Amino acid sequence: MGALCVLVACIGLGSGSVLLGAEGSEVYGHAWVWWWHGEALPAWPGGTPLGWGSDSWPVIDPLPTALGGLLGRLIGYTLAWNVLAVTGVAGAFAGGAFLARRCGGEPLVGGVVLALGPIVLGSFASGLSEDWAIGLVAVALGLLVSGPAWMAGLFLGLSSWCGLYLALGGALAALWLGGWRIGRDRAAWRSVLAGGVLAVVLTLPALALQGERIEGEGHRSGAHAEQQEPLWKLNPWKGSDIASFLTPGREDPEDALLRRHPTYLGLLALALAVFGGRSRWWPVLAGAALLALGERLRFAGQPLGWDNPVVLGAQAVVPGFDLVNHHARLFLVGQVALAALASVGARRLAHRLDRRIIVVVLVAEFALLSPQALPLPPRRLP
């Protein structure tokens, strides 16, 4: 089934002359960074004279860049990009399946909901390689709810070397889930605490690589004007649109220059989650959705003129949260929670409906009704 998810997502790759990703996205920019880092290995430059304003360019995803650069030196950078993209989709499926097992759910459903989730595939289509390790976060949270909690810290720490949005979302979810586990099993506090310390120790060097970016240097230059957003299903700027969570339908941005952050839940995935009943994962899903809405609320593309008190509150109490610029990406951890919830619902429904039917309908809905098209579009090299 993991192979099927990869096939559904990436079948458009075809020959080696294309990069996986959409037109008007950041594919070329991220692949370019992989290239000049690969050419510099074993050195790790902090910038390059190859582009205007790029003399200081801290890499947002040091681990994928290092892997992409090394692999690119061996097999070529185009193929390296595509190999790691396919690996990311497969890793998302594996992470979702692992999480489902830890939660007592149906692994196939957990894997499909995470790997083919619109917010996840939107990052692949946008060339946001810092989000491709979402499977690591799923494994970490799975271990935190059921397993050696200290190992969760290892995977969360690794996720910070892949992308700061992954690390932030995973950390916020881990605080809740870790507290929930201690509440259920007081003896687990040592393991949970050890995992937290390990995650922090691994994360601090990754933050140090970001230099002045973490301190807000050069952050948010210019201004973003509130206006009607015609591509609201894809949430290309800032936070998610309220209506985008439940509104199905393909969205074609054509030649627009944008990044895709669709937060469509999927009607079947949501129905399965509801059927699964009460769960520690509902607060994670709800919290991620509220944070994903961003500082100012919108509905069906129209600004409502209201602040989001949840985000403003997070900015007041969470260190570094005020540096978040694309809040919709925080729903990546919400998709992890949805995968856990839907997998449990599918397991409870198994005596009434064959799991294979559930999986087929899930794949069909994501393929036909998601704002993010399937398969992922290949971007042909110029």
| pLDDT score for 83 | 92
Mean pLDDT of 163-188: 93
| pLDDT score for 224 | 63
pLDDT band at 382 (very low <50, low <70, confident <90, very high): low
| pLDDT score for 16 | 52
pLDDT band at 19 (very low <50, low <70, confident <90, very high): confident
How many Cα atoms are found within 13 Å in the side-chain-facing hemisphere of 98?
21
Q: Who has greater pLDDT, 63 or 213? A: 63
pLDDT band at 129 (very low <50, low <70, confident <90, very high): very high
Reported pTM = 0.92
pLDDT in tens, 321-339: 888 989 999 999 999 999 9
| pLDDT score for 11 | 55
Buried b or exposed e, range 346-362, using 16+ CB within 10 angstroms: bbbbeeeeeeeebbeeb
| pLDDT score for 379 | 62
Distance between CA 212 and CA 109 in Å, rounded?
Answer: 41
pLDDT in tens, 277-294: 999 999 999 999 999 999
pLDDT in tens, 49-75: 887 877 888 889 999 999 999 999 999
Rounded (5°) CA angle 208-212-218? 145
Distance between CA 137 and CA 148 in Å, rounded?
Answer: 15
Q: Which long-range contacts (CB under 8 A, 24 or more apart) does 215-218 make?
A: 216/322, 216/323
Q: Is the pLDDT reported for residue 166 higher than 60?
A: yes
Mean pLDDT of 114-128: 94
C-alpha distances (whole Å) from 9 to each of 79, 115, 144, 249 are: 17, 9, 29, 17
| pLDDT score for 15 | 46
| pLDDT score for 320 | 83
Distance between CA 63 and CA 132 in Å, rounded?
Answer: 11
Q: Is the pLDDT reported for residue 187 higher than 50?
A: yes
Mean pLDDT of 21-48: 89
pLDDT band at 219 (very low <50, low <70, confident <90, very high): low
Residues in the chain, total: 382
CB atoms within 10 A of CB 248: 15
Q: Is the pLDDT reported for residue 254 higher than 80?
A: no
| pLDDT score for 54 | 79
C-alpha distances (whole Å) from 353 to each of 346, 349, 361 are: 9, 6, 12
Given a contact cutoff of 8 angstroms between Cβ atoms, the answer to whether 140 and 174 are in contact is yes
pLDDT band at 14 (very low <50, low <70, confident <90, very high): very low
Question: Exposed, middle or buried by CB within 10 Å (0-12, 13-18, 19+), for 83?
Answer: middle
Which residues lie below 8 Å from residue 96, measured CB to CB, with a gap of 6+?
107, 110, 111, 112, 113, 114, 115, 135, 138, 336, 339, 343
Distance between CA 131 and CA 89 in Å, rounded?
Answer: 11
| pLDDT score for 288 | 97
How many Cα atoms are found within 13 Å in the side-chain-facing hemisphere of 367?
16
| pLDDT score for 12 | 54
Mean pLDDT of 367-377: 83
Q: Is the pLDDT reported for residue 365 higher than 90?
A: yes
Q: Is the bond leading into 375 cis (omega within 30 degrees of zero)?
A: yes
